[in-house]
Amino acid sequence: MRMNSRIWSCGAGGGAFAALAAAAFGGSSTTFEPLADHPDGRLASRAWDVSADGSVIVGRFKLGDELGAAMWVNGSPVGLGDLSAGMEMSTAHCVSDDGNVIAGIGHNGAAWEAFRWQSNVMTPLGLLSGYSWLSTVNGMSADGNVLVGHGYATTPPITDAAALVWEDGDPVSELLDFPDGVQGASAQGVVDLDGDYIVVGLGRTVASLTQQACYWDSSGTRVQLTNLPGDGSPHSAVIEGTEVGGELILVGYSSSGAVNGTNRSEACRWINGVPQSLGDLPGGIANANSYDIDASGRTVVGIGTTAIGNEAFIWRESMGIQNLRTWLEATYGIDLTGWVLQNATGVSADGMTLVGYGIDPMGDERAWVVRFASCPADFDGDGVVGSADLSQLIGQWGAMDDVTDLDGDGTTGSSDLAILLGSWGSCP
Ligand SMILES: [Ca+2]
Ligand SMILES: [Ca+2]
Ligand SMILES: [Ca+2]
């Protein structure tokens, strides 16, 4: 898996957003929309992240023959500029929960450099000493005060990389790599804990020179994660995570020897450090990576591989890994004829908005957004109000449960059952 094409992503996942938010938002029907591109009409857009309520999407679009960092505010595109005059080559990788802080990578005229954008000002974040070829932000805390990424000394490969952190406006500093003298670490995301945070990403082990999933705890100590039962060349990374009720849920990918032998990668979820495979899409080679997770931990999105190449996936516990394109068509009747949804890069903290990019029916690269309609009785998120949801409601009968108490009167009972039965069948 190539670092520069697959791992420059992020999501401001995590935070204390409650699952009940899912009941509060959403329009009258679930929609898929290509994002409006730059007004000059040239296409080549990608979306990389989305704010907590789905109102701000960030990524890049094409300006003439150049690419520039962009945000879409309620669907309208706005260019963010670059760190120097001349060629625009910037990309926005992440946005804070409130949509006000955006970060990514630009070009300062001499080197690639990480930036932070707020109130219409793009600020360069500096280059780590010894890593003067590039710095980039891959992820941020929910409030935008902690930014993480990596730096390169020279042209990649990642064996020359250092994991970077910018904390509360301090100068860039390096996160501890594996203590073997072999560089090659990258910080991918920040998981907010109660009053604290951890940084997730990957490091290198001298034994294999492959990338290894890890996180840096609140004291900066690196914690190596276990891979899925694997082949002879283990490799893995953590991309994002969230904390739910004391459980630390991290997502990314891990190699596995379970199917297809060597170099298989599956989307992976670690719960309190224990890895579980989320799998890959059927067809093609075996290669998948999780890119984001919502605050409740219910929805994971990312990239899988099918017979036609890279395709976006959505994963939920009740339905497992699904091809996003075919699932949207089958579940919501959305016509995606001619589209290839290559990558689902972000899910909003409230779980109601997905963003990514793909190839549109005209053959152009295009950012897109999926907005789910409110369907509060679909407790398991499979797109249908059905028997599994009914069982869950019955199981909570008489209990105080934020999810199954649909009318919010403090208990799960007959009024909630009536709401559930009234919305029986496919979600809008
Ligand atoms: Ca596959
Ligand atoms: Ca359901
Ligand atoms: Ca109730």
- pLDDT per position as a tens digit, 387-425: 999 999 999 999 999 999 999 999 999 999 999 999 999
Q: What is the mean pLDDT of residues 172-200?
A: 86
Kindly identify the ligand whose nearest atom is closest to the C-alpha of 376: 2
pLDDT of residue 286: 87
Domain-by-domain residue ranges, the chain? 3-374, 381-428
Ligand lying closest to the C-alpha of residue 267:
1
pLDDT tens track for 334-366: 999 999 999 999 999 999 999 999 999 988 899
- Find the mean pLDDT for residues 224-250: 91
Q: How far is the CA of 396 from the centre of ligand 3 (A)?
A: 10
Q: Which ligand is nearest to the CA of 419?
A: 3
Identify the pLDDT of residue 305.
94
pLDDT of residue 8: 36
- pLDDT confidence band for 40 (50 / 70 / 90): low
Q: Which residue has the higher pLDDT, 336 or 10?
A: 336
The rounded distance, in Å, linking the Cα atoms of 91 and 8 is 10
pLDDT at 178: 66
Give the span between the Cα atoms of 92 and 122, in whole angstroms.
11
Q: With cut-offs at 50, 70 and 90, classify the pLDDT of residue 179.
A: low
User: Given CA atoms 269, 353, 323, 91 in this order, what sign does their dihedral have?
Assistant: negative
**Ligand closest to the CA atom of residue 397:** 3
Sheet strands side by side (includes 211-216): 186-193, 196-204, 211-216, 222-224
Distance 313 CA to ligand 2 centre (A): 18
Q: What is the CATH number of domain 3-374?
A: 2.120.10.30
The superfamily in CATH containing domain 381-428 is: Dockerin domain (1.10.1330.10)
User: Is pLDDT of 20 > 90?
Assistant: no
Q: Which of the residue ranges 8-22, 143-157, 340-354 would you say has the lowest mean pLDDT?
A: 8-22
pLDDT tens for 382-397 read 999 999 999 999 999 9
**According to the model, what pLDDT value does residue 10 have?**
43
| Mean per-residue pLDDT, 68-82 | 91
pLDDT exceeds cutoff 60 at 22: no
Over 90: is that where the pLDDT of 273 sits?
Answer: yes
What gap in Å lies between CA 57 and CA 51, rounded to an integer? 6
Asked whether the CA dihedral 214, 169, 93, 299 is positive or negative, the reply is positive
Ligand nearest to the CA of 416: 3
Q: How far is the CA of 291 from the centre of ligand 3 (A)?
A: 35
The answer to whether residue 21 scores a pLDDT higher than 50 is no
26 compared with 255, residue with greater pLDDT: 255
Least confident of 231-245, 310-324, 332-346: 231-245
Mean pLDDT value across the chain: 88
Q: Is the pLDDT of residue 122 over 80?
A: yes
Closest ligand to the CA of 303 = 1
Residue range 297-316: average pLDDT? 96
**What is the separation, in whole angstroms, between the first and last Cα of the chain?**
37
419 CA distance to ligand 3 centroid (A)?
9
Tell me the percentage of the chain whose pLDDT exceeds 90.
69
Looking at residue 226, what is its pLDDT? Answer: 93
Contacts 24+ apart (CB under 8 A), 326-334: 327/383, 328/30, 328/32, 328/370, 331/382, 331/383, 331/384, 331/426, 331/427, 332/29, 332/30, 332/383, 332/426, 332/427, 332/428, 334/30, 334/31, 334/32
- Rounded Cα gap, residues 224 and 210, in angstroms: 13
Using pLDDT thresholds of 50, 70 and 90, give the confidence band for residue 4: very low
Q: Is the pLDDT of residue 146 over 60?
A: yes
Report the separation in Å between the CA atom of 89 and the middle of ligand 2, taken as the mean of its atom positions: 43
